[in-house]
Amino acid sequence: LTDLLDLATAIVERATSGEDIEAYVTHERTFQVKAYSSEVESLASAEPRGAGARLIRDHRAGFAYTTDLTDSGLNAVVDRARDNSRHATSDEATSVAPAWSEEPPEISGLVDRSQSDVPADDKVAFVLELERATRAQDPRIRAVEEAVYSDSEAEVAIATSSGVAGSYRRTDAWCYALAIATEGDDTQIGFEFDLARGLAALDADDVARRSAHRALEILGASKIPSGRMSVVFEPYVSAQFLGVLGSALTGEAVQKGRSLFAGKVGTRVAGDGVHLVDDGRLEGAPGSAPWDGEGVPTSRTGVISNGVLDSFLYDTTSARREGRDSTGNASRASFKGVPHPSPTNLALAGTGESPDQIYEQAGKALLVQDFHGVHSGANAVSGDFSVGATGRLLQNGELGAAVKEVTIAAPMLEILKGIQAVGSDLRWLPFGGSFGGATTLIAEMTVAGL
C-alpha cells in the first residue's frame, strides 16, 4: 500500500491556484469477536481505508470522500469537492489549518507495540474467558447477552495546501460484557467495559465482576416517592452528563445559538472549586492525539475555572469567526465526515474526596448508577435535563434499596451550580468522545417516581 501521507499529499497537489485544500486519509485494521454461551458467536476482520478532501475556493468549502484510492479515484474526489464548493455560502471564516511553526510533539502511549503481534486465537480465548467469568460470578447471572472483544490499529494522515503534513498511528482495544441477572420475576442487565491500547492491558476478570455486580445489585429495585433530593452520580453517569454538556461548550454551538452557555463567558456557571478542563494531549486518555481533525496541534483548555466559564472549544473556522486561534478541537468521525469542534478529553477536576466520603457527605440521597434516555431527555440548547435513572438509595454513607423507573430532572445550569464534590475516582468513558467521570455530588434534583 502506498504511504498514507503520500496519498494525502497527492490529493493536495490536485488543487489549482486560488484553491485551498485539506486531505484526510485513514487506513485501519479492525478485529472483533463476540462470545455467547461458551461459544464464539461471530468473528469479523476488516481493513477499511479511504480519503476525504475539503476544497475551499472563494471562501466556499466543498467536501467529498472516496474509498477509491487510485489516481482516477483521487482525481474524482477533488473534482467533486470542487463542484460541491460552488454551492456553499461564501464565508470569510472558512479556512484550512495554518502551517505548523514546529512539528507537534508526539503523544506517548498511543501505540501498544505488542498489539500487532497478538494472535487472533488469544483474542478469542480472552472473550471466551470474559463470557465464562461473567456467568460464573453468581448463580443468578442467567446468561451473558453479549461478551465482546474488539480492536483497531489505525494510521491517520493529513496534508493541507497551507503546508500541514503529518501522520500518526494509534492502537485501541476494548471489551465489554452484558450480564443478565434474574431472580423471581425480575430481570436486570449490567453493562461494563474496559478500554486500553492493547489486549495485554485489558482486565477480563474485572469487567466480569463489575458487569455482574451492576445487574445483581438492582434486582428487586422499585420506584421511590417523588420529591426533591440530593443526587450522587457514579463515574459512569457523570461522564454521560459531561457528554451532554460538551456539545454545548464549543464555539460553534455558541455562535449558532445552540448552547445554554451563550453569553456566559466570564460569569459564574458552577460552584467555587469546580474546574472543567479539556486536554487533547493527556497521556493515557482515550481522546488524545498530536493534532486534531484539521491538523491543528491539540492543547489543554480551561473551560470552567473555579466556577467561572473561561473559554469554549474551537476549530479553525469557529475560532476565525471570533478572531482567535483554534484550540485544536476539530473532530471528525472518519474520512467520510467534515470536521466540527468537539471536546477531546473533558473532565471535572477532583475536589479530593473518595467515593465513600462523598456517600457520607450526601446524607439521604439517590445514587445514580445509570441514566436512560439521555439523548432524548437532555437538551444542550435549552438546558433542560430530565432522564430515567436506576441506582440505590444512600443514607448516611450506607447503600440502601435499589431504585428503578424514576426520572431525575433539573436545568443543567442548576446541576452544575449544585456540584458539591467531585471524587478522586476519575475514569475515562468513550461516549461519543472521551469524558472523565468521577463520583459527583449534586445538591438537589427533582426525582419523579410514585
Per CB under 8 A, contacts with other proteins among 261-320 are none
Residue of the chain from 352, 373, 397, 400 that contacts other proteins (CB under 8 A):
373
Q: By C-alpha distance, which of 124, 121, 99 is closest to 35?
A: 124
By CB under 8 A, which span of 167-175, 230-238, 323-331, 400-408 interacts with other proteins?
Answer: 400-408
Helix axes 4-12, 71-85, angle to 10 degrees: 50
Give the residue, chosen from 201, 382, 396, 398, that forms a contact with other proteins under the rule CB under 8 A: 382
Which 334-363 residues touch other proteins, going by CB under 8 A?
A: 336, 338
DSSP symbol at 414: H
Among the residue ranges 12-20, 80-88, 108-116, 265-273, the one whose residues contact other proteins (CB under 8 A): 80-88
Which of 228, 306, 398, 401 touches other proteins (CB under 8 A)? Answer: 228
C-alpha distances in angstroms, 282 versus 211, 288, 350, 401, 427?
A: 28, 6, 16, 38, 13
* Contacts of other proteins in 180-219 (CB under 8 A): 180, 186-189
Can residue 364 be called a binding residue for other proteins (CB under 8 A)?
no
Interface with other proteins by CB under 8 A: which range of 106-114, 238-246, 274-282, 368-376? 368-376
**Can residue 29 be called a binding residue for other proteins (CB under 8 A)?**
no
CB 224 within 8 A of CB 406: yes
One-letter identity of residue 299 = S
CB 33 within 8 A of CB 127: yes
How far from each other are the two terminal CA atoms of the chain, in whole angstroms? 62
Site residues for other proteins, 112-171, by CB under 8 A, read 120, 142-143, 145
Please give the helix or strand (H or E) that residue 125 lies within, else none: helix 120-135
The span of 161-169, 301-309, 408-416, 422-430 binding other proteins (CB under 8 A) equals 408-416
* Cβ contacts of 447 within 8 Å, gap of 6 or more: 224, 226, 227, 228, 229, 231, 366, 389, 406, 407, 408
372 scored as a contact of other proteins (CB under 8 A)? yes
Site residues (CB under 8 A) for other proteins, limited to 41-70: 41-50, 61-68
Interface pick for other proteins out of 17, 72, 89, 101 (rule CB under 8 A):
89
Query: What crossing angle do the helices spanning 204-217 and 120-135 adopt, rounded to 10°?
Result: 30
Residue 1 CB, nearest approach to other proteins (Å):
11
Whether 379 and 390 have beta carbons less than 8 Å apart is answered as: no
Residue among 186, 54, 167 at smallest CA distance from 103: 167
CB of 394 to other proteins, least distance (A): 19
Q: Which residues in the 229-258 window bind other proteins by CB under 8 A?
A: 255-258
Q: Quick check: 382 and 394 in contact, CB under 8 A?
A: no
Residue closer to other proteins, measured from CB, 123 or 275? 123
Q: Which parts of 420-439 interact with other proteins (CB under 8 A)?
A: none
Reference 52, options 24, 78, 73; nearest CA is 24
> By C-beta, is 89 or 101 nearer to other proteins?
89
Q: Do the bridges between strand 165-183 and strand 141-160 make them parallel or antiparallel, or are there none, so unpaired?
A: antiparallel
- Taking the complex as a whole, the smallest distance from the CB of residue 400 to other proteins amounts, in Å, to 20
